[in-house]
Amino acid sequence: MASNRLRRHKVGRSRKVLFDSSFLIAVMERPTPWLQDIQEKLGGFEPVVIAPVYAELERLASGNSHAARFASLAKQLVDGGTLKLAGGEVDRADEELVSMALDEGAVVATVDSALIEQLEASGVRVIRLRGGRVEAEGPFS
């Protein structure tokens, strides 16, 4: 039976993965199978973008920078329902990511080195990119 092949740590409640704008822009700029990679590392997960991160994407998408196009593509993931939108104070993305991750036992996906340092100091698990692929260290069960 197929259910016999599922690993024990991949069965059970799905964990929230909170996405930072830096991670979303990076995977839009250099497409990778990031959703599948995260699924492989964590098993089932709920992909979430908090309101402050969405506001950052909107702000960046409205500009003329190199990142504007990629921010617009990332924003479409929320608008299209691939990523779920959740609350948070609009002007404090990094602080809200840390706080929500701690409150809900969530994992944060980011490539922002300052945020990674803050998350790890708080004991929050981090998903990052290395060589264009998802890297997740430590047990996520």
Contact between residue 105 and residue 123 where contact means Cβ atoms under 8 Å apart: no
pTM: 0.86
Q: Maximum distance among all alpha carbons in the chain?
A: 53
Q: What is the pLDDT along the chain (141 residues), one digit of tens a residue?
A: 343 333 334 445 678 999 999 999 999 999 889 999 999 988 889 999 999 999 999 999 999 988 899 999 999 999 999 999 998 766 789 999 999 999 999 999 999 999 999 999 999 999 999 888 898 865 555
Cα separation of 65 and 44, whole Å?
35
User: What is the reported pLDDT for 17?
Assistant: 97
Domains by residue range for the chain, with CATH: 13-134 (3.40.50.1010)
Residue type, 122: S
SS3 65: coil
C-alpha dihedral sign at 55, 60, 61, 62: positive
Closest CA to 39 of 84, 7, 72: 7
